Amino acid sequence: MATNACVPRFVRPEPRGIGWSILLTLPIAVWTLLMGFHPGTNTDPKSRIAAAITAIFMTALFFMMMRTGSTYRWRRIFFVTLGVLFPVGFIYSNVIARGTMGIPVEEMIAGRTPFCFMPIPLLILPAAFTRTVVFPGTITHGIAAMVGIWLALTLVLGKGWCSYACFFGGIEEGVAAIPARAKIRKLDPRWRYGPWAVLLAMVLLSLALFEPAYCTWLCPFKAVSEYIAARNTVGLIQNAIFILLFAGLVIVLPFLTKKRTQCSWFCPFGAFQSIFNKISAFEVKIDKERCKPCLACQNACPNLSLSKESIARGEALMSCMKCGACVDACPRQAVVWHIKGTGAACKPERARLMFLYSAWAMAVMFGGSIIAQGVATILHFIG
Amino acid sequence: MEGRPVIACHRTQTRARNDDDHPRMAVSVHFGEALVLGLASGPACIAACGPVLVPSLLAERAGFRPHARYLSVFLGARLAGYLLFAAVAWEIGALVSLPSGPRVLLMGVVNLLLGGVLIWYAWSARNLCGLSCAGEKLVKIGEKKNRRAAGPAALGLLTGLSLCPPFVAAGVRAAELGSVAQALLFFFFFFIGTSVWFMPFISFGCIARNEAVITVARMAMALIALYYLSLGIAMLIGRKTYGY
């Protein structure tokens, strides 16, 4: 009954006034300044400038989200920037630390491999069987911190991690944005099961090989972050796989399909995150009464997370990344942000605001520091 | 016998001399030890066979009976692989440590075969969803019986030959025994011990099969097959390049 009591307006909302938008942006502006200039941050002038640029950038994007009522395109600017600047800062710090982008076996044996979030699902079974973390890194120096950040973000955002925190997905989202129209439009929906298959295969292989199998054999982003120093035939084959997967899934297919193909068809971490969508408070709902299935949302979704069946059920698939593309694309405002446990049609803008405050605060904290590092690297090269 | 390492011969003689005093007790101790070794190595066996066993089981029809049949064939063939390798290795005196060259060659070939069989198995399961989702009678009409036995048999045999760490551990111990028959019995009891750990996999029969599960299982099999194929190729190329 509560649902019927508050039927939302059936017109696209007018842009907010500048004053109201500034007021809504103020908490994020304070948060960005705190994150960029808190005690303990790097105090050299270039890092300070980089932090200031990042703070302005993140605040401006949030302001535009508030002002225009649109989420996707402003988030995409942040996400592509994150995806492009991550390799810049990361490769530079690797080259400074060890003189090469490739990680030699000696570094792995010494436990100095930087830990990203990708292997998290692969560590669970070996840890359960042997109480050992099968990653050549240090728990206190990298693994624990990354797992902590991942857990905090995941509990709040669910698979929103893949749209607001992942520092890999931005490259393919940027490539997918280049062509005006998709060259390939008919995509077999069964490819959506790909990430689950990769997850299953990699979890089993990680247990068998006692190593994070995805990192050593399949990660496309090794091509732009930290490849394995190829000193034998196996190393050569591994690097060839990394480069081929990167070229195919991150460059060519996103360009042809205008979709995030690596995320939709391949990423095992994405499949793992989908499970956490079940516990996240935020979701995307479709008002079945207002929806005239024009499939604009399905076409707009970069992750193939909407099907005719799911639209008929009034919800996105569990792989939804909460990027907001479908909400922005719906001409009848039938696709809305929603907080679980509340009425389906009640105050979707309020739900959007609550989600965006959580997501953007974490994006500033996690992605913002990566962007600042990338900007600082560029400033260093400029002189 | 000439090819067997010297250390193994010494141990065999010492063991044989001790065993002469209490032969029956010694034999039962050996086999009890094999059983316990198998039980202790079970998790490592599950880890080693998991990439082959789990997706191929998920590509089966739902139900306890098909899973029990699959596991029986798989484990039987795995035992055959164990015994075959043990008998050959005993005869050439290489049970304790197979020389590097033949070992890499064997592993390379086994990996290539494993990859090939997995790809065939994934391909042959392409119509399974349609059959599984239909009624029981339709499933029986459409079932290809050859695939049902040949797939798990081939996979079991190849995993049995693939020199996993528990198998090597058992091989070192079996090499100390007095005869090939005793060594094979040792492997048999070792196998019984490890097989206990495989029994829970019958419960995979409870998982409902639909297009998603079958497709994920088939894709996972194809990926794991690619891993084995690339490893096999790397081993064979590496052997030729570096000469080990």
Instruction: Determine the pLDDT at residue A115.
Output: 86
Which residues from chain B sit within 8 angstroms of residue A204, using beta carbons? 50-51, 54-55, 220, 224
CA–CA gap between residue A62 and residue A54 (Å, rounded): 12
**CA nearest to A236 within chain B:** B234
Q: Is the pLDDT of residue A380 over 80?
A: yes
Which residues from chain A sit within 8 angstroms of residue B242, using beta carbons? 232
B107 lies in a domain?
A: yes
**CA nearest to B164 within chain A:** A208
Instruction: Determine the pLDDT at residue A282.
Output: 93
Least confident piece of the model among A127-131, A136-140, B97-101:
B97-101
B152 lies in a domain?
A: yes
Q: What is the DSSP string of A256-325?
A: HHSS-HHHHHT-HHHHHHHHHTTT-SEEEEE-TTT-----HHHHH-TT----HHHHHHTB--TT----SH
pLDDT single digits (tens) A59-115:
999 999 999 999 999 999 999 999 999 999 999 988 888 888 888 778 878 888 888
B104 lies in a domain?
A: yes
Which of helix, strand or coil describes residue A337? Answer: strand
CATH classification code of A281-346: 3.30.70.20
Which of B50, B212, B234 is opposite residue A208, by nearest beta carbon?
Answer: B50
Least confident piece of the model among A17-21, A299-303, B97-101, B224-228:
B97-101
Cβ A201–B51 below 8 Å, yes or no? yes
Backbone angles phi and psi of B59, in degrees to 5: -85, 5
Which of A197, A208, A233 is opposite residue B51, by nearest beta carbon?
Answer: A208
Which of helix, strand or coil describes residue A94? Answer: helix
Residue of B14, B125, B123 whose CA lies nearest to B59: B125
Cβ B211–A196 below 8 Å, yes or no? no
As given in the structure block, the two tokens for residue A65 are: 């989200």
Residue with tokens 């996105």: A316
Q: Look at the alpha carbons of A158, A162, A164, A168 in this order and tell me if their dihedral is positive or negative.
A: positive
Average pLDDT, integer, range B140-158? 71
**CA nearest to B49 within chain A:** A208
Q: Would you say A283 and A340 are in contact if contact means Cβ atoms under 8 Å apart?
A: yes
Cβ A129–B47 below 8 Å, yes or no? yes
B1 lies in a domain?
A: no
Q: Would you say B224 and B118 are in contact if contact means Cβ atoms under 8 Å apart?
A: yes
Q: Would you say A123 and A146 are in contact if contact means Cβ atoms under 8 Å apart?
A: no
Which of A194, A205, A237 is opposite residue B51, by nearest beta carbon?
Answer: A205
Q: Look at the alpha carbons of A211, A261, A327, A12 in this order and tell me if their dihedral is positive or negative.
A: positive
Instruction: Determine the pLDDT at residue B136.
Output: 43
CA–CA gap between residue A337 and residue A325 (Å, rounded): 11
List the domain boundaries for chain A: 15-101+348-383, 102-279, 281-346
B135 lies in a domain?
A: yes
Which residues of A have a CB under 8 Å from any CB of B?
129, 190, 193-194, 196-198, 200-201, 204-205, 207-208, 210, 213, 217, 232-234, 237, 241
DSSP lists the bridge partners of residue A361 as none
Number of domains chain B is built from: 1
* Comparison of pLDDT for A300 and B16, the residue scoring more: A300
Cβ A196–B216 below 8 Å, yes or no? yes
Instruction: Determine the pLDDT at residue A161.
Output: 94
CA A306 to chain centroid, in Å, comes to: 18
Q: Is the pLDDT of residue A311 over 90?
A: yes
pLDDT single digits (tens) B190-202:
999 999 999 999 9
Q: What is the DSSP string of chain B?
A: -TTS-HHHHHHHHHHHHHHHHSHHHHHHHHHHHHHHHHHHHHHHHHHHHHHHHHHHHHTSPSSHHHHHHHHHHHHHHHHHHHHHHHHHHHHTT-SS---HHHHHHHHHHHHHHHHHHHHHHHHHTTTHHHHHTS-HHHHHHH--HHHHHHHHHHHHHHHHTS--HHHHHHHHHHTTSSSHHHHHHHHHHHHHHHHGGGGGGGGGGGSPP-HHHHHHHHHHHHHHHHHHHHHHHHHHHHHHHH--
Across chain A, the runs of DSSP E, i.e. the strands, are 282-286, 335-339
pLDDT single digits (tens) B208-218:
888 899 999 99
Residue B109 belongs to what domain range? 6-242
Residues 52-111 (B) with a CB less than 8 A from some CB of A: 54-55
Interface confidence, given as ipTM, is: 0.86
Residues 188-217 (B) with a CB less than 8 A from some CB of A: 211-212, 215-217
Q: Is the pLDDT of residue B175 over 80?
A: no
Q: How confident is the model at residue A10 (pLDDT cuts 50, 70, 90)?
A: very low
CA–CA gap between residue A202 and residue B94 (Å, rounded): 33
